[in-house]
Amino acid sequence: KFIFKNVAKLPSDALFAIKGRLAVDPRTNKVDLGIGAYRDNTGKPWILPSVRKAEQIVQADPNYNHEYLNISGLESLRKNAARIIFGDSFDIANRVVNIQSLSGTGALHVGATLMESLKLNERDVYFSDPTWGNHLQIFAKCGFNSIKSYPYWDAASKKLNLDGFLNTIKEATSGSVFVLHPCAHNPTGLDPTEEQWKVILESIKEKQHVVLFDSAYQGFATGSLAKDAYSIRLAITDILKDVPVMVCQSFAKNVGMYGERVGCFHVVLPESGYNAEEGSAIQSQLEAITRSELSTPPAYGAKIVSAILSSDELYKAWSDDMVTMSSRIYEMRHKLVAKLTELKTPGNWDHITSQVGMFSYTGLSKEQVARMEKEHAVYLASSGRASIAGLNDGNVEHVGYAIDEVVR
Ligand code: PLP
């Protein structure tokens, strides 16, 4: 008997479908503003110079091999990953329990699975409206049946809907789970200011909600790891220092090793009020999740990232690489808006330059996005989200003309 007879055919992932259509489009002026992956000024994937150097160093080591890592991953990666996100002065030894994960997606999955095994999935979980689509699928798979959203993007003003956000925090059942984007919000490119973060985290504290930060773009918003970790550090050292905070960390974007799947999942323990045994119990849960799903995490990318984080010279080179990426994106935002200004394109486009990170929520409608693709070979998500990293000196004018045409 064919046991797969009535298997439902699911729709393909929208972003990867864009990639598929683009690949077969014969037009030579096609532009990919879909998936959030950095491209250089010629539109090519960029292997960071710091990564190239680290690869040479790692492979030249006489002890280099392809053995399994431990279940919890490469120790030096876990330690240094915590250091860059929580800061040099943070008490990592006593306050962080972590595990290497399959990039940011895997970290989210570990976090959601941990909550599932602790029955925290019976609580409401809140995501920003809009958010990265995969968030919802990952949490649904882990038995979160009450997936809700907090207002974030105000379409009329193209600004943060802070009042709506705070109101939802206030109205939510105490102890709900809030998933927060610490920087370079996907898809809007709109981050709260430092002052707004204070108010948001204070309200979360008041209602004793549980926080999970999903950090996929540290270094991409401002080029500075410290600045981009502001909200996380404010939470763990100050506003939420008395409660556990979960943090998912991806190295896909900031190291440019998208396909190598390097990441970590961290539980930051409270400053006091728990004992070492409780910390090691959480560690054992993380290891049990990983053992059943990956057995052991992938080694290659972890070794490269660890080499970068453990060497002053490579770390400095990597910091420069992040500035290179974030500055080029910044420049492209300005060039695009300059073109729209020159064309006297109807509407206000200032949000493109005030947004940060890889993405811009352009405000283009679904119909306008469809026309961008059909008439101009410019591909972006139907939500109007454009990956600014796909712009370069060779295509930014074309994209400007395309936007101008579709909005008129
Ligand atoms: N979280 C957000 C908000 C993202 O945008 C992404 C990637 O697009 C991820 C997590 C996970 O990325 P990865 O699994 O490639 O590290």
Residue whose CA is at the smallest distance from ligand 1 atom 6: 216
pLDDT of residue 145: 97
- What does the pLDDT look like over 47-91, one tens digit per residue? 999 999 999 999 999 999 999 999 999 999 999 999 999 999 999
Question: In this prediction, does ipTM exceed 0.90?
Answer: yes
Interhelix angle 312-342/49-60, rounded to 10 degrees, is 160
Query: In the annotation, is 318 catalytic?
Result: no
User: CA-to-CA distance for 394 and 31, rounded, in angstroms?
Assistant: 10
Query: In the annotation, is 132 catalytic?
Result: yes
Nearest CA-CA partner of 147 in 131, 125, 114: 125
Cα 104 to ligand 1 centroid, rounded to whole Å: 5
The amino acid sitting at 69 is: L
pLDDT of residue 375: 97
Q: Which of 253, 318, 321, 339 is catalytic?
A: 253
> Which pTM does this prediction carry?
0.96
Residue whose CA is at the smallest distance from ligand 1 atom 1: 216
Q: Is the Cβ atom of 107 under 6 angstroms away from ligand 1? A: no
Q: Is the Cβ atom of 188 under 6 angstroms away from ligand 1? A: no
pLDDT of residue 55: 98
Which helix (H) or strand (E) segment holds residue 314: the answer is helix 312-342
- Which parts of the chain register pLDDT below 70? none
pLDDT of residue 396: 97
Exposure letters 87-101 (e unless 16+ CB within 10 A, then b): beebebeebbbbbbb
